[in-house]
Amino acid sequence: MREQIEILVKLQAIDSDTQIVEKRLGKVKGKMASLDSELQALESSTEEAQAAVQDLQKAYRTLEMDTSQNLSKVAANKEKLSSVKTNKEYQSVLKAIDDVKALNSGLEDRMLEMLEQIDQAESRLQEKQQALEAVKKRVADDKKKIEKEAEKDTEVLASLQKNFDAVMSSVAPDTLKVFTSVRKQVGNLTIAKVENAVCAGCHMNIPPQMYNELQRFESLMFCPHCQRIIYSEL
């Protein structure tokens, strides 16, 4: 039975390594999704900054158009001055010209303020675009690294499975049946070492009589607390 126990310990070691690799592979999708999420968030932020610049530019063009139309009104009123017949009409046209000029003065002040806002918005956009390009490169590099590690782990997993199958072929049918059954029940650490009468699987003490019997390797024995297969020093 000692030989069978040694084989089961090897199976357990391979099984443990397999679980570690499977756990890493199980995280690949989440890592990829996290990188995509980071990139999408920055892309969205950059698009918002781009839209802000476009909105300001559109508003500026509207002010430009209003200013141009007001200048046309000023020019038309100036032409009208030559054809007025009374002083009252003359004063009325002059007032209209002054009103439009005052309006344009306010529009020009707003345009100057908006030019400053556009410069600031364009500067923020440029910073976001630069950051986006840097993140795109890093994300692409990280994805390649993750994919490369996943490919390597997939190969390792296949090798571990091959080794597991090879070692398992050396296990006696009855022993294998028990090992497989316990493996399904406990999920991990199917076979646990006992040191100083303490099970390494559940860290509970086993009865002294059982501990003495365990060291004789006469049959498979099980922890009375966690039901794992247990063994003494090989």
* Count of C-beta atoms within a 10 Å radius of residue 8: 24
Judge whether 5 and 217 are in contact, CB under 8 Å: yes
- For the chain, first and last CA: distance in Å? 11
Distances (CA, A) of 47 to 115, 132, 158: 20, 11, 44
Domain boundaries, given as residue ranges, for the chain:
28-168, 173-231
Judge whether 5 and 234 are in contact, CB under 8 Å: yes
Percent residues over pLDDT 70 in the chain? 100
pLDDT tens readout for residues 161-211: 999 999 999 999 999 999 999 999 987 789 999 999 999 999 999 999 999
Residues 6+ apart with CB under 8 A from 31: 142, 146
Residues 6+ apart with CB under 8 A from 124: 49, 52
pLDDT tens readout for residues 71-88: 999 999 999 888 888 999
Cα 216 from Cα 224, distance rounded (Å): 18
Angle between helices 87-168 and 2-26 (to 10 degrees): 170
pTM for the whole structure: 0.73
Class of 28-168 in CATH? mainly alpha
User: Would you state the pLDDT for residue 188?
Assistant: 76
